[in-house]
Amino acid sequence: MKQVLGISAYLAVKEIWRNRARFLLVSLVIALITLLVLFIAALGEGLGNGNREYISKLDAQLIAYQAKSDFLISASRLDRDRLASIRRVAGVQDVGMLGTANANIILPGGGEPLKAALLGIEPGHVGEPPIVQGRPLSTKLADEVIIDRSTALRSGLQVGDPLRIRVTQGTRDEFYELRVVGISDGQQYALQPSIFVPFFTWEQVRPKSEAEVNSGNDPVGNVILIKVKDPAQAESVSQRISAQVNNIEIATIAAAIQALPGYSAQQSTLNTQGGFTLFIGLLVIGGFFQIQILQKVAQIGVLKAIGTTNTIVAATFIIQISLVTLIGVAIGGLLSFLFSLTFPPTVPIVFNGTTSAIAIAALLLIGPLGGLVSIRYAVRIEPLKALGLSI
């Protein structure tokens, strides 16, 4: 086996080296395919992340929605009575109301207001993001705000700065001034940077219809975030909550992410694009090596006639294809990294280690896969026919 690999590697490397311009050209094509696949993966990750980041980082296992809301956060309305009811269910450790809305942040230096997700949360309860700078929210009514890293990057706001938001309430634009008390890590929601305010503050400052402005109803949030005592028992706790609290439906975090508006469609579109790009790569590599082999039928015939085994012939091609693919993927990976450094934070491109590793593994696999047909062809070459010795 060692001898087979030794000879195969020798022949493969010699041929690549002595025809380096031709093989480099194929590696560059693979590099471009790599660039495309990695960017599609990064775009998928970036868009997906922008949609789900806050939800996926929640220290909660379940989310309660209003019944028949189809697990759409914006379509769900839940009052505080239900919050209290859920809190009492056995197995529930903590609950937090979440209210979602949009607001325009008036930037200190002027310019176009920054659109952000305005999220109302319960200070000290599940739903409040971990703080990386500053402090958490103090009370349910404080005029305080936590901004996520994305908002901080785009607005330039720091802890202690005043933050002015503009919202539409009824038919009027209202301005509210809050104070930044903390900065969290990235917590984007609905493809927007997020700002977090105490729930009752949120109720005051959120956009409202004319009817809401004039009504004196108790505040309602959108969904209730639930942290269970034992995450392994989340399913049974979910069933207990459904049995004990009326007019709600429960989803796990994973199900809630899939139900985010457009999330599944967006991810499947990008995955399909990535898949097709890989498929094109497969055809390009397969086509190149098939042409290579067609041009080398006589050479392969000579090799076989002088006693080279099919194992060596096949191993030589596999090593060649793998090397060319490896070089292409390495160049593509490097180019992707260099390009990624040039993108501003507003572009939703995130090079996630796992996603990139999966994309790279798939790219490395398409080389040998694409070459399978040509390897099979090479192995079946008859030395007699290749050398023109057959009658």
Which residues of the shown chain bind other proteins in the complex (CB under 8 A)?
Answer: 3, 6-7, 10-11, 14-15, 17-19, 298-299, 301-309, 312, 383-384, 387-391
CB of 316 to other proteins, least distance (A): 11
Nearer to other proteins, 18 or 172 (CB): 18
Nearer to other proteins, 301 or 371 (CB): 301
Nearest to 98 by CA among 120, 117, 78: 120
The alpha carbon dihedral of 147, 148, 151, 153 has a sign of positive
CB of 315 to other proteins, least distance (A): 13
Rounded CA-CA distance 317/218 in Å is 73
CB of 4 to other proteins, least distance (A): 10
- Coil, strand, or helix at residue 68? coil
Nearer to other proteins, 334 or 389 (CB): 389
CB of 22 to other proteins, least distance (A): 11
Nearer to other proteins, 251 or 298 (CB): 298
- Coil, strand, or helix at residue 186? coil
Listed in sequence order, the residues at least 6 apart from 391 whose beta carbon sits closer than 8 Å to its beta carbon are: none
CB of 299 to other proteins, least distance (A): 6
Q: Count of H helices and E strands in the chain? A: 13, 12
- Coil, strand, or helix at residue 31? helix
Rounded CA-CA distance 12/23 in Å is 11
Nearer to other proteins, 47 or 378 (CB): 378
Nearer to other proteins, 25 or 365 (CB): 25
Rounded CA-CA distance 7/266 in Å is 48
CB of 306 to other proteins, least distance (A): 6
Tokens for 99, please give them. Answer: 């209210």
Estimate to the nearest angstrom the gap between the alpha carbon of 1 and the chain centroid: 42
